[in-house]
């Protein structure tokens, strides 16, 4: 068969990444566009189509070489129908039949899923969760997302909305969350909350990168902030681990770049709060595929979708 | 085939129930012994063996009529190896190879599992969760146990310890729990906590049955207590529902007999705290098989175990 390539797309709130991958999921070519430069839904869709066509042509290929297109996006998705329910932070996206639209305009098979699920798929097949049966993969960033692998397969739940670990409540009278409720994990360890704590502590604006760097250099204020984040994270994870008796938890996303200070604190807090049988067995890993997890997972989705 | 019966056993902290069931899980005969009348491990095992032999003989059968023995017990179990790790509240039980011991002494196939998992199996195959794919079954009593069905199958996790929903933490600086940690759901809505609240409210000892009766009759103090229990329950369930995007939650056990006042409050609190996609779809049911769930589930385990 001559279909030796896959198009993987990672549509984020900030960046639109389009990549050409081979069947072993090596990224052969890649382009990154700013999502916000597309003002309207139609423009963004056209941008995606244009970018797909360009990357195929630029690499001396044509559509008969392409197995299909996989796309991960940061919102709830009906994978079976190929419908994007909505995209938080991208106006104008509501119940968009994106799969059919793209399929019609590019003439290739198209697969969609939520980005946290796509990331979980990638980390399970090729990354940190490889070989583990029951895994939670978390993305720590502006939002806290999650994808769950059960028995080696992506677990979707009733309507593909499983994995919302950011909205696990950790306090009855807790902080207000973006979701409109309160006490959710995300309200405590989402990007903006961390940046707020840092601003209070340092009396100036400070980026996550700087905060991580300071902690790595031994700055006690920065370490305190990251340890608090880890403590909350571990506390929430203990609940998930007690319920799911997981083999492993994988954490990626911008916040996870804080590295060891964060992971050590999360592990300690998880061990303190989890039951010994469950806590004693679960492994905690940092995600391995980094920024490419979305592209690789999107390609895996195409290959596994084609095979099944 | 002439193996038309199954022995189902429900070994609780208070009662040891032994039943003869047909292949449609009808209970044909049943005996109930006091668990505490057996002082030592050996005595309890002998009591089980004796009771199995008696119920077979008493019904004019012999062992060739019996497909096997299923046994649910209130502690962590290695189902594959047939080992009981320990039994809380029953001294002397530690790493007991109960399956092999029973098999040798009665000459029948034996299947063991944790009682909450056995109950989940029963409620899924024949009770309130029938027809639902992804379900949490909870037992509300002295302890808060849980069994999870994923894709129609019992979900065990890494070492058969999944489902410990009683130890989902709901407050960072929370009440002390029997497990030695704090903030767990069980610390808020376990039997003893409810009885404590009732004692404070009514200035006297009061049973769960009376508390339920009073609430049903409109007593405002009793209603307040049950509404508080429901509120905590719903809050914790919101987290589970957000993570697992469940089809249904089934609640049984003594505390669930409080009925509507408890369920209405739990549903309201769940709806307030869960995300709309997940909360909007999940159904909440009262367990259907009551006190027989353990016996029926034990028999199902034998039948499904034999078939596989």
Report whether pLDDT(A308) > 60. no
CB neighbours of residue A43 within 10 Å: 12
Nearest alpha-carbon partner for A23 in A42, A5, A1: A5
pLDDT for position B25: 97
A–B CB contacts, 8 A cutoff, strictly below: 131
* Residue in A156, A160, A168 closest to B239 by CB: A168
Q: Which two tokens mark A256?
A: 């996870």
Query: Tell me: the pLDDT tens digits for A28-68?
Result: 999 999 888 888 889 999 999 999 999 999 999 999 999 99
* B238 interaction partners in chain A (CB closer than 8 Å): 169
- The answer, for A273 touching chain B at a CB cutoff of 8 Å, is yes
With CB atoms and an 8 Å threshold, state whether A134 touches B157.
Answer: yes
Q: Which residues touch B46 (CB under 8 Å, ≥6 apart)?
A: none
What is the band of A198 on the pLDDT scale with cuts at 50, 70, 90? very high
What are the mean pLDDT values of chain B's consecutive 10-residue runs (308 residues total)? 91 91 97 88 94 97 97 91 86 92 97 95 98 97 93 95 96 94 96 95 96 96 97 98 98 92 98 94 96 96 81
Nearest alpha-carbon partner for A19 in A7, A3, A37: A7
Residue B163, min C-alpha distance to chain A (Å):
4
pLDDT for position B86: 87
Strand partners, A16: A11, A33
CA distance linking residue B177 with residue B230, whole number of Å: 18
* A278 interaction partners in chain B (CB closer than 8 Å): 157-158, 161, 164
Structure letter (DSSP) for residue B24: T
How confident is the model over A87-94, as a mean pLDDT? 80
- The answer, for B148 touching chain A at a CB cutoff of 8 Å, is yes
Nearest alpha-carbon partner for A29 in A2, A3, A8: A8
* Residue in B161, B165, B183 closest to A278 by CB: B161
**DSSP annotation string for A214-257:** HHHTT-HHHHHHHHHHHHHHHHHHHHHHHHH--SEEEEESGGGG
Mean pLDDT of all residues in chain A?
94
Query: Tell me: the pLDDT tens digits for A134-168?
Result: 999 999 988 899 999 999 999 999 999 999 999 99
How confident is the model over A257-262, as a mean pLDDT? 94
Q: What is the ipTM of this complex?
A: 0.93
Instruction: Name the percent of chain A lying above pLDDT 90.
Output: 87
* A183 interaction partners in chain B (CB closer than 8 Å): 273
* B134 interaction partners in chain A (CB closer than 8 Å): 157-158
With CB atoms and an 8 Å threshold, state whether B181 touches A247.
Answer: no
Structure letter (DSSP) for residue A76: -
Domains in chain A, CATH or no CATH each: 5-118+292-307 (3.30.420.40), 130-287 (3.30.420.40)
pLDDT for position B1: 58
């Amino acid at each position: 068969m001559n279909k030796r390539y896959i198009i993987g797309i990672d549509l984020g709130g900030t960046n639109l990444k389009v990549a050409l991958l081979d069947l072993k999921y090596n990224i052969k070519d890649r382009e990154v566009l700013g999502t916000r430069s597309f003002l309207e839904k139609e423009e963004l869709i056209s941008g995606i189509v244009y970018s797909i066509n360009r990357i195929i042509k630029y690499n001396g290929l044509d559509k008969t070489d392409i197995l299909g297109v996989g796309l991960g996006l940061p919102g709830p998705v009906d994978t079976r129908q190929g419908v994007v329910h909505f995209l938080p932070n991208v106006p104008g996206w509501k119940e968009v039949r994106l799969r059919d639209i793209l399929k019609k305009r590019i003439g290739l098979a198209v697969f969609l899923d939520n980005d946290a699920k796509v990331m979980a798929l990638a980390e399970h097949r090729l990354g940190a969760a490889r070989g583990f049966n029951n895994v939670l993969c978390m993305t720590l960033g502006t939002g806290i997302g999650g994808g769950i692998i059960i028995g080696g397969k992506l677990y979707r739940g009733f309507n593909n909305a499983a994995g919302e670990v950011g909205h696990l409540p950790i306090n009855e009278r807790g902080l207000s969350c973006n979701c409109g409720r309160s006490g959710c994990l995300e309200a405590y360890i989402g990007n903006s909350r961390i940046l707020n704590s840092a601003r209070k502590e340092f009396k100036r604006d400070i980026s996550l990168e700087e905060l991580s760097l300071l902690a790595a250099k031994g700055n006690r204020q920065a370490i305190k902030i990251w340890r608090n984040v880890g403590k909350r994270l571990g506390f929430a994870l203990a609940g998930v681990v007690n319920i799911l008796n997981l083999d492993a938890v994988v954490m990626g996303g911008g916040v996870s770049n804080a590295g060891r200070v964060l992971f050590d604190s999360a592990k300690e807090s998880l061990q303190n709060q989890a039951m010994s049988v469950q806590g004693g067995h679960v492994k905690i890993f940092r995600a391995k595929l980094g920024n490419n997890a979305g592209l690789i997972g999107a390609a895996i989705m195409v290959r596994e979708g084609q095979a099944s």
